[in-house]
């Protein structure tokens, strides 16, 4: 089977059962798990055929709710047999009449059972899905000390039900698109009708409909195709595996994109300040959350700047260092064969290798690898005068700080290298110039028509209440500045 169903959009179900079976047999001629079972209705002798994929249906449900009623019912002779089966025979909760062959194919491929009836221009699709799915678990990369522990799975319908449980309102809108020429993956656009910007919803649909690719296997396929700035290091679409985060974003007027087959859900528009927000900031005291958020901003600056500033100081600006510290650094660097720049770059790459290796090795070996790589090898390298202790401390401080902002992992790595390179050539002047360019770039970005740093646009105190700090809930009376419906708490609330 080619995997394309568009060529069957104009074909309809035939009244002759044998002709229908030959057609579906030709469509699925190379599919070994297609099962066909034919039964005959008593009294009238009408034949019916069930088509389904082995391993994707609940066989117990199929036998009890479909096969047994069909073989035991005594159908009347003078009645529309299709309507009779729908209304008085089958007990399935989800039962649909189909006439288009393409819809029948999609139903079979997604775990439904197709019922073909002789002398009927309708086919019935019966919800008998029963393929195995992963249970509810807490996302490994988004663990919290306090708050909900549930995470999304790989089944879109299951994920949508989790969002629906969080937002018990008819205002929740869910629209479906199919993306991918061969996979025809179901992509769901979710938003609250009274809060989301209709222009943003229309723009999102337009961008998704423009995607022309063989298949969609993960949400990142969508994210890379709909992002505003294709070459930017900073992402402009958010990702999460937590239904509570998706619900919170939608309550702020954002849009969620659920892709079948992946636990990752996209949220947009995405703001720069979201990179520094933790999932549990809103489940703990605002004082604790404020401290954590400030530390993340500081750690981001340290992660990209400490190696560059240290290289610039010991290479070009030694006069800015305290005399005792400068002498100590010079003494400890004695005998090191590499230049300060090469030493720093080597340590940055080694740290990244250790980090990636620790992530991809079995958990039982990860801790041992971290200890051997970080302590034993590092200490041995310092004692052997391959690297200097001050440079090791600077790079280690930068690496540990980068772990505080996992959403900016790629940005931290590239900016660390670029700033170090500029500092090694031009000193602090190169560092300041590159940092200025980076800040200008951040200020110029946007996400679906919203400024990346929207709180700096016409800055007011109200707009900073959930950026650098997280103030108490009674003070967060308005939604983010990009939302037209700004009022969140109506008591004594003035629009800003």
Highest mean pLDDT (candidates 102-116, 448-462, 464-478): 102-116
Band the pLDDT of 496: cuts 50, 70, 90.
very low
Average pLDDT score over residue span 53-59: 87
How much is the pLDDT for 267? 94
Q: Are residues 198 and 158 in the same domain?
A: yes
Band the pLDDT of 324: cuts 50, 70, 90.
confident
How much is the pLDDT for 255? 94
Last residue of a domain, one of 362, 391, 419: 419
Q: Which residue has the higher pLDDT, 294 or 79?
A: 294
* Number of domains into which the chain is organized: 3
Q: Are residues 148 and 188 in the same domain?
A: yes
Average pLDDT value for the chain: 85
Model confidence pLDDT, tens digit, residues 252-268: 889 999 999 899 999 99
List Cβ neighbours of 137 (8 Å cut-off, separation of 6 or more).
150, 151
Domain membership of residue 256 (yes or no) is yes
Average pLDDT score over residue span 375-395: 81
Last residue of a domain, one of 386, 419, 452: 419
Q: Which residue has the higher pLDDT, 420 or 318?
A: 420
How much is the pLDDT for 418? 94
Domain membership of residue 289 (yes or no) is no
Q: Are residues 66 and 144 in the same domain?
A: no
Are 82 and 117 spatial neighbours (Cβ–Cβ below 8 Å)?
Answer: yes
Model confidence pLDDT, tens digit, residues 82-124: 888 888 888 777 888 899 999 899 899 888 999 999 888 899 9
Band the pLDDT of 495: cuts 50, 70, 90.
very low
Range of the domain at 161: 140-270
Domain membership of residue 180 (yes or no) is yes
Domain membership of residue 479 (yes or no) is no
Average pLDDT score over residue span 227-234: 85
Q: Are residues 35 and 154 in the same domain?
A: no
Q: Which residue has the higher pLDDT, 489 or 357?
A: 357
Q: Are residues 145 and 218 in the same domain?
A: yes
CA distance 120 to 118: 6
Q: Are residues 206 and 319 in the same domain?
A: no
Band the pLDDT of 484: cuts 50, 70, 90.
low
Band the pLDDT of 489: cuts 50, 70, 90.
low
Q: Are residues 15 and 100 in the same domain?
A: yes
Domain membership of residue 433 (yes or no) is no
How much is the pLDDT for 374? 65
- The DSSP code for 455 is G
How much is the pLDDT for 364? 60
Q: DSSP letters of 267-287?
A: EES--GGGGG--TTTTTS-HH
pLDDT at 1 over 50: no
pLDDT at 359 over 80: no
The CB-based long-range contact list for 75-82 (8 Å cut-off, 24+ gap) reads 75/41, 75/42, 75/43, 75/44, 75/46, 76/43, 76/44, 77/43, 77/44, 81/41, 81/44, 81/46, 81/117, 81/119, 81/120, 82/117, 82/120, 82/122, 82/124
Last residue of a domain, one of 384, 419, 454: 419
pLDDT at 7 over 50: yes
Domain membership of residue 105 (yes or no) is yes
CA distance 3 to 14: 22
User: For residue 61, how far is the Cα from the chain centroid?
Assistant: 33
Task: Give the max Cα distance, the chain.
Answer: 105
Band the pLDDT of 490: cuts 50, 70, 90.
low
Q: Are residues 144 and 266 in the same domain?
A: yes
Domain membership of residue 60 (yes or no) is yes
CA distance 489 to 496: 13
How far the first Cα of the chain sits from its last, in Å, is: 57
Are 310 and 344 spatial neighbours (Cβ–Cβ below 8 Å)?
Answer: yes
Q: Are residues 313 and 206 in the same domain?
A: no
């Amino acid at each position: 089977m080619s995997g394309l169903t568009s060529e069957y959009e104009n074909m309809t179900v035939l009244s002759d059962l044998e002709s229908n079976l030959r057609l579906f047999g030709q469509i699925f001629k190379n599919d070994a798990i297609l099962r066909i079972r034919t039964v005959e209705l008593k009294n009238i002798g009408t034949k019916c055929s069930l088509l389904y994929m082995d391993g994707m249906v609940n066989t117990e449900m199929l036998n009890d709710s479909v096969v047994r009623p069909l073989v035991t019912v005594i159908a009347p002779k003078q009645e529309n047999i299709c309507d009779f089966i729908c209304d008085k025979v089958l007990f399935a909760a989800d039962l649909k009449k189909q006439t288009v062959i393409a819809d029948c194919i999609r139903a079979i491929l997604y775990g439904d059972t197709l019922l073909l009836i002789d002398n009927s221009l309708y086919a019935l699709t019966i919800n008998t899905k029963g393929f195995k799915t992963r249970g509810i678990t807490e996302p490994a990369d988004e663990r919290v000390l306090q708050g909900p522990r549930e995470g999304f799975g790989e089944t879109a319908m299951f994920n949508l039900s989790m969002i629906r449980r969080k937002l018990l309102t008819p205002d929740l809108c869910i629209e479906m698109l199919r993306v991918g020429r061969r996979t025809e993956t179901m992509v769901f656009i979710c938003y609250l009708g009274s809060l989301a910007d209709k222009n943003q919803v229309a723009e999102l649909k337009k961008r998704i409909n423009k995607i022309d690719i063989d298949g969609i296997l993960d949400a990142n396929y969508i994210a890379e195709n709909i992002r505003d700035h294709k070459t930017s290091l900073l992402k402009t679409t958010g990702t999460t595996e937590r239904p509570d985060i998706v619900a919170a974003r939608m309550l702020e007027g954002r849009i969620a994109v659920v892709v079948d087959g992946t636990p990752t859900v996209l949220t947009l528009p995405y703001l720069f300040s979201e990179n520094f927000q933790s999932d549990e900031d809103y489940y703990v005291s605002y004082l604790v959350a404020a401290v954590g958020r400030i530390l993340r901003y500081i750690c981001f600056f340290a992660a990209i700047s400490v190696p560059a500033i240290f290289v610039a100081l010991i290479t070009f600006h030694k006069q800015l260092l305290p005399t005792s510290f400068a002498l100590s650094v010079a003494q400890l660097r004695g005998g090191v064969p590499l230049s300060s720049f090469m030493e720093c770059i080597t340590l940055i790459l080694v740290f990244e290798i250790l980090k990636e290796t620790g992530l991809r090795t079995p958990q039982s070996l990860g801790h041992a690898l971290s200890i051997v790589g970080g302590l034993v090898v590092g200490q041995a390298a310092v004692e052997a005068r391959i690297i200097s202790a001050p440079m090791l401390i600077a790079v280690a401080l930068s690496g540990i700080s980068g772990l505080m902002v996992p959403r900016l992992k790629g940005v931290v790595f590239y900016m660390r290298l670029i700033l170090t390179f500029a500092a090694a050539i031009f000193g602090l002047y190169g560092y300041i110039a590159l940092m200025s360019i980076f800040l200008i770039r951040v200020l110029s970005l946007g996400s679906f028509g919203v400024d990346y740093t929207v709180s700096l646009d016409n800055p007011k105190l109200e707009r900073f209440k959930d950026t650098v700090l997280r103030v108490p809930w009674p003070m967060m009376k308005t939604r983010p500045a990009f939302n037209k419906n700004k009022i969140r708490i109506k008591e004594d609330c003035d629009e800003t």
